[in-house]
Amino acid sequence: MSNTETKVQSEESQTPDITASFLSSITNKPVNVKIYDDFIYTGTLASIDGYMNIVLQNAEEIVRGKSTNTYEEIFIRGNNVLYISMA
């Protein structure tokens, strides 16, 4: 095995650890979650799993730049998530 192959395998094995570390670091913090059709949800990240299923608390739904709804708690299915970022 070449040094390049070893380096690539090493970086690939660290990726899940980095992702899990980031996601656990933003739990219980304000986040933005963008899904398809220009929907953005802002709220406190209550939980997230390996499939990117997300539960937000005290969430606001924003569609095309306008607030449309608020939710005490909302579940967002992971296959709809485009990205998640800190608010």
Domains of the chain are 28-86 (2.30.30.100)
Report which of residues 7 and 87 the model is more confident about: 87
What is the model's pLDDT at position 32?
97
pTM above 0.85, yes or no: no
State mean pLDDT over 43-72: 95
Residue 53 has pLDDT above 50, yes or no: yes
Cα separation, 41 vs 63, in Å, equals 9
Residue 19 has pLDDT above 80, yes or no: no
Cα separation, 60 vs 26, in Å, equals 18
